[in-house]
Structure 1
Amino acid sequence: MYIRRVSRKNKNGSTTAYLQLAHNEWDPVAKHAKAKVIYSFGREDEIDRSVLERLVQSIARYLTPEAALQAQNAIGDTAEFLFRSSKRLGGAWLLHQLWQKIGLDAILEKLFKDRKYQSSIERLIFAMVANRALNPSSKLAMEDWVKDEVYIPGLSEVGSQQLYRAMDELLEVQSELEHQIYCAVSDLLNLEVDLLYFDTTSSYFEVDPFDVPEDDDLRKQGFSKDKRPDLVQVVIGLAVTRQGIPIRSWVWPGNTSDMSVVDQVKRDLVGWKLGRVISVMDRGFTSEKNLRTLQRAGGHYIVGEKMRSGKETTDAAMSRKGRYHHVRENLQVKDIVVGDGEARKRYVLVHNPKEAERDRLRRKELIERLEAELEGLKQLSNQAHTKAACRLRTHPTYGKYLRQLKDGTLKLDKQAIRDAEKYDGKYLIRTSDDTLSAEDVALGYKQLVDVEDAFRTLKTTLELRPMYHRLENRIRAHILLCWLALLLVRIIEEETGETWTALRKELDRIHLGHFSSNNGDVYQSTELTPKQRKTFDTLGIEAPPKFLKIQPKA
């Protein structure tokens, strides 16, 4: 079956052509095939082209895409396109555009302008940062990732040794880089830096502690916040703004205590034009020495205070009579001043009624289980009784609600239970700033959760741990790269109101296809969904164009 064109000559010498749908049938008498007209489309110059297009489309439904393309190529002179490859584009494009919007490319190019490498150091650093944010892997695995899996603007392939050299170069400019990035980000986002949140975490190494050289001053065993005290680790600090943007990171030996780092943090932030800074820190930093350090040069602090510390001033604050002021749903505050003159200390006692009820119910369930355990002791023999009683007495949760009589019998300590009720749904905050309202103090301290969120992102989404680097400079550079990735991720989350995990999944659907023909190569991106386009618009950055590159053959 085919389209048949017939023509006739008119008296005036012109020619009129007609189009027909025909197929050949064998004529046994004439001994040859004759055309049989199935349908006449009419004169060629008056034909309705849409009729032919609908016919082609209806026929194409019964063909494979390859057969349909071959059929079209056979009819006309259209060049055949081959689909060569596809790379993920969306996530890397978004990070690249934000990288440029902040000015990180210009900062790095200026810092490395006198250093000549085969590949741009700035592009190598961006590739490692993008890898942390999109698909964390080793430097060796990044070779295939850049070459075959993701489109990195300005970088088609890379070697692992190039990446390691770029890490070494990055560490040499760390101090100036951090300062310039802070200035660029604070100007771009109008960051509020009157409150800075600081906390530490630890990250371990998958290596036997006995295999670590004695002269290794960074990887040490210490208190592990990852619950891996059997492994060596480093301690990492983050300073975060009230918007949750990390402005600086630190790395210390794994056996460093929280109490010993405040002085360095304070000194490192001098000259950053932060203005009046109120440092917000958790209970691990509340030594009197640290608090004096935070008040240098007119600074102030908001810190958590251990309610059961045994300090005279803390006990006085907890026992102070007075009514709570309701400031928000499930948030009540009581402003307390203890002492006079230089010994004067200001506390804010915060009460959450909903959390208090949860504490009461949890303790009730615990006491019921404990009573069942005590009842079971009566049925045990002497030796078994002694072992079970010791287990209960030393239990980290049950033990504080038990008391032992002179004959060795265990009983519920009702006074301990009544004492615990005093702390239900409460936490105590200490501040040196008298100009802040009790509500601002409470809300400022509650936002310390942003630092915890940042650490959670570092350890899960960006896969900071476990670390396999051995050299100290590589360890520090690895953490610096993770901080840069965290900076981009938190800016994106803050501006869009979406989690990076959800955004990354959506952006991974944007691909870049490579098509080739006899006439050249075309690089075309997939069509954006409304949700994807909204993400780019919200961040104020350009979405990837439909055709990223067209290379005609010479």
Structure 2
Amino acid sequence: MYIRRVTRKNKDGSVTAYLQLAHNEWDPKAKYAKAKVIYSFGREDELDRAVLERLAKSISRFLSPEQAFEAREAIGEAAEFLFQSCKRLGGVWMLDQLWRKLGMDRILQQLFASRHHQLDIERLIFAMVANRALAPSSKLAMEDWVREDVYIPGLSQVASHQLYRAMDELLAVQSELEYQVYGAVSDLLNLEVDLLYFDTTSSYFEVDPSEAPEEDTFRKQGFSKDKRPDLLQVVIGLAVTRTGIPIRCWVWPGNTMDMTVVEQVKKNLIGWKLGRVISVIDRGFSSEENLRMLQRAGGHYIVGEKMRSGKAASKEAMSTRGRYHQVRENLHVKEIIVGDGEARKRYVLVYNPKEAERQREERKKLLEKLQAELDGLKQLSHEVHSKAACRLRSHPSYGKYLRQLKDSTLRLNKQAIRDAEKYDGKYLIRTSDDTLSPEDVALGYKQLIEVEDAFRTLKSTLELRPMYHRLEDRIRAHILLSWLALLLVRIVEVDTGESWRKVRDELQRLALGHFSSKNGDLYQCTEITAKQRQIFAAVGVEPPPRFLEIQPNS
């Protein structure tokens, strides 16, 4: 079956053409095939060509792409362009547009302007930040990633030694970079910095401590928040706004204690002239010296207090009678003032009924298991009994609920159980700011979870660890790059209301095809989905154009 064109010569010498749908049938009398017209489309010059286009499209639905191409090739209409390659575009495009929207490219170009680099350091730094956010890998693996996997505007290929050089240059301008980035981000996003949340975490290295060089004063063993005390580590601090935007990071040797870092953090932030800042910190930083430090230059603090710390003021606060006031569902607060004059301390005791019920249920299950263990001791021989009893007494969860009788028999400690019940669903907060309502104090401290979320993103999504760098400067630069990636990621999460993993997976489906012909090269994007457009709109950046680049042959 085919479309044929037949002509007729008119009396005036003109020619009229007609288009027909026909197929050949064998004529047994004539002994050859004759065309049989199935349908006549009419005169060619009067034909509605859209009819033919619809017919062609409906037929092509029943052909494979290869068959459709062969059919066009058979009639001399083969495609002009050859499909050369396909790279991921959506994630890099989003990060690059946000990077430029924040003015990061301009800031870095200004900082490196006087250094007269032959390399585009800004593009190298952005490539490492994008890699950390999209597909964390080593600097050597980034060579293939840039060349084969993604399209990075202004950077088609890179060498690992160039990336290490860019890391060194980045660290040299760290202080000014952090300050300018904060200024650009706070102005653009209108950040509220009256409450700043601060916390620390640790990150380890895949290095046997016995193999570490003696001159290594940075990678040290210390209290590991990753539960890897057997490995060398560094301590990382983050200052985060109430919406979860990380505005600054710090790095200290792995054996640094939390209590010793507040002074440096405070001094660094005072230099930024943030105005009235209330620092929200966890219980690990609540020494009196740290609290006095936070009040310098007109600052204030909201800090968690250990309810069983043994401090006289904390004991008095916990034992003070008074009514709780419900301010939100599952949030009850009680304001407590301890002392007078300069010794006056303001506390807020917070009670969460739902959390209290959860803790009671967990303790009930734990005590049932413990009682079963105690019942099982009676069936054991003397030597085995002694070992099992020692194991129970030293158990981190069971031991606090046990007491030993004079005959060495173990029993449940009912007084310890009653004492534990007093703390169910409660936490104690101390603040130096008298202008904040108890509700604001409680909610402010509760949002300290934003820092924990930032650390979780840093370690899991951005794969901060494991780290293999040995030199202190490279370690600091690696964490600085991770902070820049975290900054972009958290802005996207806040704007879209979705996790970066979901956003990243959706955007990475947007690809860029490279087509070539005798006339030049063409770079065309796949069609943008409604979900992808929604993401770009939420972040306030333009999606890529359909044709990203056209390179005609000269």
> What TM bracket, shorter-length normalisation?
over 0.9
2: CA distance between counterparts of 1:78 and 1:370? 78
1:465 aligns with 2:465: yes
- Gap change, CA 1:392 and 1:52, over 3 Å in 2: same
**Which sits farther off after the overlay, 389-398 or 351-360?**
389-398
* Deviation of the 1:402 alpha carbon: 1.0
> Which residue identity lines up with residue 394 of structure 2 in the other structure?
T
> Which residue identity lines up with residue 52 of structure 2 in the other structure?
L
Query: Counterpart of 1:357?
Result: 357
- Equivalent residues in 2 for 1:379-418, closer than 5 Å: 379-418=379-418
TM-score normalised by L of structure 2: 0.97
Query: Counterpart of 1:147?
Result: 147
> Which residue identity lines up with residue 128 of structure 1 in the other structure?
M
- Equivalent residues in 2 for 1:28-107, closer than 5 Å: 35-75=35-75, 79-107=79-107
1:262 aligns with 2:224: no
Query: Counterpart of 2:434?
Result: 434
**Which sits farther off after the overlay, 294-303 or 377-386?**
377-386
> Which residue identity lines up with residue 405 of structure 2 in the other structure?
L
| Contact 1:377–1:388, Cα closer than 8 Å, also in 2 | yes
1: CA distance between counterparts of 2:322 and 2:133? 50
Query: Counterpart of 2:132?
Result: 132
**Which sits farther off after the overlay, 378-387 or 434-443?**
378-387
* Deviation of the 1:77 alpha carbon: 5.6
* Deviation of the 1:225 alpha carbon: 0.3
- Equivalent residues in 2 for 1:307-326, closer than 5 Å: 307-326=307-326
State the SS of the aligned residue for 1:269.
helix
* Deviation of the 1:32 alpha carbon: 6.4
Query: Counterpart of 2:12?
Result: 12
Aligned length: 554
1: CA distance between counterparts of 2:15 and 2:369? 103
> Which residue identity lines up with residue 272 of structure 2 in the other structure?
W
Q: Which runs of 5+ in 2 are unaligned?
A: none
> Which residue identity lines up with residue 337 of structure 1 in the other structure?
I
* Deviation of the 1:345 alpha carbon: 1.1
| Contact 2:360–2:424, Cα closer than 8 Å, also in 1 | yes
* Deviation of the 1:269 alpha carbon: 1.2
2: CA distance between counterparts of 1:10 and 1:29? 32
> Which residue identity lines up with residue 280 of structure 2 in the other structure?
V
Q: Which runs of 5+ in 1 are unaligned?
A: none
1: CA distance between counterparts of 2:276 and 2:534? 37
Query: Counterpart of 2:195?
Result: 195
* Deviation of the 1:461 alpha carbon: 0.2
1: CA distance between counterparts of 2:445 and 2:295? 17
2: CA distance between counterparts of 1:151 and 1:553? 21
- Equivalent residues in 2 for 1:108-187, closer than 5 Å: 108-187=108-187
Query: Counterpart of 1:221?
Result: 221
Query: Counterpart of 2:481?
Result: 481
2: CA distance between counterparts of 1:520 and 1:176? 44
State the SS of the aligned residue for 2:489.
helix
Query: Counterpart of 1:524?
Result: 524
Instruction: Give a deviation string over 1:462-498, Cα, whole Å, max 9, x none.
Output: 0001100111110000000000000001111111111
1: CA distance between counterparts of 2:50 and 2:186? 58
State the SS of the aligned residue for 1:337.
strand
2: CA distance between counterparts of 1:243 and 1:58? 53
| Contact 2:262–2:293, Cα closer than 8 Å, also in 1 | yes
TM-score normalised by L of structure 1: 0.97
1:537 aligns with 2:537: yes
1: CA distance between counterparts of 2:404 and 2:49? 98
> Which residue identity lines up with residue 72 of structure 2 in the other structure?
Q
2: CA distance between counterparts of 1:35 and 1:433? 96
* Deviation of the 1:500 alpha carbon: 0.5
* Deviation of the 1:380 alpha carbon: 1.8
**Which sits farther off after the overlay, 28-37 or 221-230?**
28-37
| Contact 2:133–2:461, Cα closer than 8 Å, also in 1 | yes
State the SS of the aligned residue for 2:113.
coil
| Contact 1:355–1:425, Cα closer than 8 Å, also in 2 | yes
Query: Counterpart of 1:287?
Result: 287
Instruction: Give a deviation string over 1:280-325, Cα, whole Å, max 9, x none.
Output: 1001001111111111111111111000001111110000000011
> Which residue identity lines up with residue 144 of structure 1 in the other structure?
D
| Contact 2:92–2:150, Cα closer than 8 Å, also in 1 | yes
Query: Counterpart of 1:331?
Result: 331
**Which sits farther off after the overlay, 357-366 or 72-81?**
72-81
> Which residue identity lines up with residue 453 of structure 1 in the other structure?
D
2: CA distance between counterparts of 1:523 and 1:444? 49
* Deviation of the 1:178 alpha carbon: 0.1
> Which residue identity lines up with residue 149 of structure 1 in the other structure?
D
1:548 aligns with 2:543: no
* Deviation of the 1:20 alpha carbon: 2.6
| Contact 2:86–2:514, Cα closer than 8 Å, also in 1 | yes
1: CA distance between counterparts of 2:531 and 2:165? 39
- Gap change, CA 1:10 and 1:471, over 3 Å in 2: same
Instruction: Give a deviation string over 1:250-298, Cα, whole Å, max 9, x none.
Output: 0000000000101111111122121011111001001111111111111
* Deviation of the 1:44 alpha carbon: 1.9
Identity %: 77
State the SS of the aligned residue for 1:247.
strand
Query: Counterpart of 2:451?
Result: 451
| Contact 2:270–2:297, Cα closer than 8 Å, also in 1 | no
State the SS of the aligned residue for 2:21.
strand
> Which residue identity lines up with residue 232 of structure 1 in the other structure?
L
- Equivalent residues in 2 for 1:233-252, closer than 5 Å: 233-252=233-252
**Which sits farther off after the overlay, 206-215 or 516-525?**
516-525
* Deviation of the 1:400 alpha carbon: 0.8
2: CA distance between counterparts of 1:24 and 1:495? 64
> Which residue identity lines up with residue 471 of structure 2 in the other structure?
L
**Which sits farther off after the overlay, 486-495 or 381-390?**
381-390
| Contact 2:193–2:274, Cα closer than 8 Å, also in 1 | yes
1: CA distance between counterparts of 2:37 and 2:443? 85
CA RMSD of aligned residues (A): 1.6
